[in-house]
């Protein structure tokens, strides 16, 4: 017996173990809490329940009650309450816990039901695992090994269905592998709100397809590939590229917007093959946008900046430049909302040492109320919290439109926020601009303005600013370094280094630390451990934190000092703007 549960908890018995779970939990999730695996295909925690795969059939029962006295009947043999077992197996996904519910997941009835369902699922499945992309992460493989009979009694012809339907620009469908679980249909309808998928034909000949004249082209289409329990829906990009078991998984963050969707980077031998979402129920559930999955391609781009000069020589050149412009206000630092918290902290330190003004480049686009927010910088709030900036960057108004690189939605993004800097340059006050990865031309400065100043550029890719810059420090992309971002919820989230950077590129932290040291003539730490000692000492919101303590699902920090700021974001999946906010994308 366990202690009486709290009112909102119900006690259930799973394979003889009692557990108190919140009301409304289904049996699959309840079993998960006691480490009992209930195999399933169609059930997905973030989608509606249809109960069609029948893999989660388990035995259930309720304590017998004396009809007269309403008292539980005690089995005289065991001395325990007698359980009235339901004679037929029930689906775990569609059954919510009720007080006293008893569940058996290992009984002969359950074993038989699972073997039956597994056999049925496999008879018309092509069993082409050797050439299937899903192999290695296939529920059908795992569960047929775990719960199947291990031999086939099927001697008939298998059903023939389309083998390579292009459902949309990024998703390829093999209908023969499909087990008709309808997860993709439900996702498109319920989450992506783009109801384009459905079954045609009946019975075992049912075939997944797009509605006539429609395509699975929305910016979330690749999530259907993630949730497909088998190899039916495959990513056209990743298809046939790499075996998943060779890939290393590294936790990362989607940097395309301030939502900060949690991701996993799949890489092998220094090369990234794909990005997939990582479950975070408070941020992105189990989803991520297609556009964010293509960001890794920039890592291998031909226009990556690499240095031919030694880093220390470059730092010496910069120190020289700083020394020549030592008067207050002669140097301006353009920080970035794409930099990590640590980089922004060091940027602030650098600006202070240089007695420089600081500004941030704003990027504002259209939000989609799901996982793309209007603020296309992943870490504007980090800049606020670290004190790099004290007010939000101005939204680019008179700035030219730039297009997001190769993303699925090429919606215009307004880049700007440098009008004050432009004025200072025109007034002849600013002589040196240090840009942390920001293309100043794209952010609204003219080539003529740029020609009037000496630019020190830290960045990953060649652009107009790097071309015009006096000194260029090639740095690392988000996939090549460690750090943290603060997303729109003021959630501090970690990302980790998945692959090494190219030869001749240096971690931004090292560059910034060396520049700061050169400017202030005092050493500056560049490793995360030491930096965080500084950060937690100096930044009130991070006072109780260290890098190591940030959990993989992030850490909410105090947002009250910034509550009144007019953030540009509208509502997204797990974010509601404060009432004062100006929602540009509503």
Partner 1 sequence: MAAPAQRRIIFQHIDEPGYSNDLACYVRNGGYEVLKKSVTRPPAELIDEVKKSGLRGRGGAGFPCGVKWGLVDRKSGKPIYLIVNADESEPGTFKDRYIMHQDPHQLIEGTMISCFANNVKQAYIYIRGEMPHGARILERAIAEARAAGFVGKNICGTTYSCDIFVHRGAGAYICGEETGLIESLEGKRANPRIKPPYFPAVLGLYQCPTIVNNVETLCHVKYIVEHGGDAFTKVGTPNNTGTRIFCVSGHVQRPGYYEFEAGKITMGQLLYEVCGGPLPGRTFKAVIPGGSSAKILRFGERFKGKRKVGAEMVDYDWGVEDVPMDFDSLGMIGTMGGSGGVIVMDDTVNMVEALANINAFYSHESCGQCTPCREGSLWMKKITTRMVHGQARNEDAALLKSVADQIPGRTICAFGEACSWPTQSFIAKFGDEFKQYPETKKAAKPVGAHELV
The number of beta carbons lying within 10 Å of the beta carbon of residue 228 is 26
- Other beta carbons within 10 angstroms of residue 356's beta carbon come to 24
Q: Output the smallest distance, CB 435 to partner 1, in A.
A: 56
Interface with partner 1, residue 49, by CB under 8 A: yes
Rule CB under 8 A: say whether 129 interacts with partner 1. no
Toward partner 1, which CB reaches closer, 51 or 72? 51
Asked if residue 39 binds partner 1 (CB under 8 A), the reply is no
The CA distance from 27 to 244, in Å, is: 30
Residue 15, CA distances (Å) to 36, 38, 102, 106, 467 in order: 8, 12, 8, 8, 67
Binding to partner 1 by residue 377, rule CB under 8 A? no
Is 53 a residue that touches partner 1 (CB under 8 A)?
Answer: yes
The nearer residue to partner 1, 88 or 241, going by C-beta atoms, is 88
Q: Is 107 in the site for partner 1 (CB under 8 A)?
A: no
Give the nearer residue to partner 1 in terms of CB position, either 91 or 456. 91
Q: Of 40 and 170, which has the nearer Cβ to partner 1?
A: 40
> Residue 323, SS3?
helix
| C-beta of residue 92 within 8 angstroms of C-beta of residue 102 | no
Applying CB under 8 A, among 107, 159, 236, 452 the residue interacting with partner 1 is 159
Q: How far is the CB of 189 from partner 1 (least distance, A)?
A: 11
With CB under 8 A as the contact rule, the residue among 74, 123, 135, 422 that binds partner 1 is 123
Element (H, E) at 516: helix 508-520
For residues 62 and 107, give the distance between their C-alpha atoms in angstroms, rounded to a whole number. 16
Give every CB contact of residue 144 below 8 A, 6+ residues apart in sequence.
Answer: 118, 121, 122, 150
Tokens of residue 326, six digits: 């030592």
- Residue 121 contacts partner 1 per CB under 8 A: yes
Question: How far apart are alpha carbons 154 and 261 in whole angstroms?
Answer: 44
For partner 1, how many residues bind (rule: CB under 8 A)? 38
124 binds partner 1 per the rule CB under 8 A: yes
Interface with partner 1 includes 551 (CB under 8 A)? no
Contact pattern for partner 1 over residues 192 through 221, marking x by CB under 8 A:
------xx-xxxxxx---------------
Q: Closest distance between partner 1 and the C-beta of residue 113, in Å?
A: 6
Nearest CA-CA partner of 344 in 356, 327, 355, 358:
358
SS3 333: strand
Which position among 75, 128, 146, 154 is part of the footprint of partner 1 (CB under 8 A)?
154
Instruction: Considering the complex, state which of residue 93 and residue 557 has its C-beta at the smaller distance from partner 1.
Output: 93
Q: For the window 164-183, what string marks contact with partner 1 as x by the rule CB under 8 A?
A: ---------------xx---
**Least distance to partner 1 from the beta carbon of 195, Å?**
11
**Tokens 């060091």 appear where?**
346
Give min distance, CB of 168 to partner 1, in A.
22
- Which 519-538 residues touch partner 1, going by CB under 8 A? none
What is the SS3 assignment for 350? Answer: helix
Residue with tokens 């296939």: 138
- 26 SS3 class: strand
Nearer to partner 1, 41 or 287 (CB): 41
With respect to partner 1, which residue has the nearer C-beta, 206 or 215?
206
Residues 60-99 close enough to bind partner 1 by CB under 8 A: 87-89, 91, 94-95
Choice from 5, 22, 51, 387 touching partner 1 (CB under 8 A): 51
* CA separation for the pair 330, 357 (Å, rounded): 9
- Establish if 52 lies at the interface with partner 1 (CB under 8 A): yes
DSSP conformation class of 65: B
Write the Ramachandran bin of 486: left for phi over 0, alpha for psi from -120 to 50, otherwise beta: beta
β-bridge pairing 454-459 and 432-436: parallel
Identity of the residue, 124 or 280, whose beta carbon is nearer to partner 1 in the bound complex: 124
Among 113, 380, 513, 568, binds partner 1 (CB under 8 A): 113
Q: How far is CA 200 from the centre of its chain?
A: 33
- What residues have CB less than 8 Å from 148, skipping those under 6 apart? 114, 115, 118, 119, 122
Q: Which is nearer to partner 1, 50 or 462 (CB)?
A: 50
Q: List alpha helices for 124-199, DSSP H.
A: 139-147, 183-186
Is position 246 an interface residue for partner 1 (rule: CB under 8 A)? no
Which residue among 15, 119, 282, 571 contacts partner 1 (CB under 8 A)? 119
Please state, in angstroms and rounded to a whole number, the distance separating the CA atoms of residues 85 and 368. Answer: 48
Residue 387 CB partners (closer than 8 Å, separation 6+)? 348, 539
List of residues contacting partner 1 (CB under 8 A): 49-55, 57, 87-89, 91, 94-95, 112-113, 116-117, 119-121, 123-124, 153-154, 156-157, 159, 179-180, 198-199, 201-206
């Amino acid at each position: 017996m366990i202690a009486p549960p709290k009112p909102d908890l119900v006690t259930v018995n799973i394979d003889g173990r009692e557990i108190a779970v919140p009301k409304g939990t289904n049996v699959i999730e309840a079993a998960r809490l006691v480490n009992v695996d209930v195999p399933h295909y169609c059930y997905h925690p973030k989608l509606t329940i249809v109960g069609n795969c029948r893999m989660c059939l388990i035995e259930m029962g309720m304590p017998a009650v004396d009809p007269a006295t309403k008292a539980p009947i005690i089995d005289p043999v065991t001395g325990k309450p007698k359980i009235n077992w339901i004679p037929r197996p029930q689906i775990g996904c569609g059954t919510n816990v009720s007080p006293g519910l008893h569940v058996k997941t290992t009984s002969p009835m359950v074993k038989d039901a699972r073997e039956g369902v597994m056999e049925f699922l496999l008879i018309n499945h092509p069993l082409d695992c050797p050439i299937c992309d899903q192999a290695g992460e296939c529920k059908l493989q795992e569960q047929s090994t775990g719960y199947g009979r291990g031999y086939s009694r099927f001697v008939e012809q298998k059903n023939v269905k389309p083998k390579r339907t292009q459902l949309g620009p990024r998703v390829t469908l093999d209908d023969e592998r499909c087990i008709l679980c309808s997860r993709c249909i439900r996702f498109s309808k319920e989450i992506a709100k783009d109801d384009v998928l459905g079954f045609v034909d009946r019975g075992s000949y049912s075939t997944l397809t797009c509605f006539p004249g429609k395509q699975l082209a929305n910016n979330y289409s690749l999530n259907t590939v993630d949730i497909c329990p088998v190899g039916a829906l495959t990513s056209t990009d990743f298809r046939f590229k790499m075996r998943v078991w060779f890939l290393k998984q590294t936790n990362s963050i989607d940097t395309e917007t301030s939502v900060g969707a949690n991701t996993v980077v799949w890489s092998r031998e220094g090369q990234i093959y794909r990005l997939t979402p990582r479950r975070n129920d408070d941020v992105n559930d189990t989803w991520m946008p297609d556009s964010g999955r293509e960001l890794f391609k920039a890592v291998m781009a031909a226009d990556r900046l690499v240095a031919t000069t030694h880093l220390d020589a470059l730092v010496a050149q910069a120190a020289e430049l700083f020394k020549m412009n030592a008067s207050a206000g002669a140097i301006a630092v353009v920080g970035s909302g794409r930099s990590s918290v640590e980089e922004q902290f060091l940027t602030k330190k650098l600006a202070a040492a240089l007695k420089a003004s600081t500004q941030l480049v704003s990027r504002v686009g259209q939000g989609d109320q799901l996982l793309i927010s209007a603020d296309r910088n992943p870490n504007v709030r980090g800049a606020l919290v670290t004190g790099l900036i004290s007010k939000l960057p101005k939204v680019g108004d008179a700035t030219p439109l730039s297009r997001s690189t190769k993303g699925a939605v090429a919606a215009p993004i307004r880049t700007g926020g440098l009008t004050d800097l432009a004025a200072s340059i025109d007034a002849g006050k600013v002589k040196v601009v240090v840009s942390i990865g920001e293309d100043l031309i794209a952010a609204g400065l003219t080539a003529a303005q740029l020609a009037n100043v000496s630019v020190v550029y830290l960045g990953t890719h060649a652009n107009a600013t790097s071309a015009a810059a006096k000194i260029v420090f090639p740095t690392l992309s988000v996939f090549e370094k460690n750090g943290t971002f603060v997303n729109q919820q003021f959630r501090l989230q970690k990302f980790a280094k998945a692959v090494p950077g190219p030869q001749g590129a240096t971690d931004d932290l090292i560059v910034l630390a060396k520049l700061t040291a050169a400017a202030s003539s005092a050493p500056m730490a560049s490793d995360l451990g030491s930096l965080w000692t500084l950060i937690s000492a100096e930044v009130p919101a991070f006072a109780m934190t260290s890098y190591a303590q940030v959990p993989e699902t992030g850490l909410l920090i105090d947002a009250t000092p910034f509550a009144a700021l007019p953030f540009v974001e509208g509502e997204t999946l797990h974010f509601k703007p404060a009432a004062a906010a100006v929602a540009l994308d509503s």
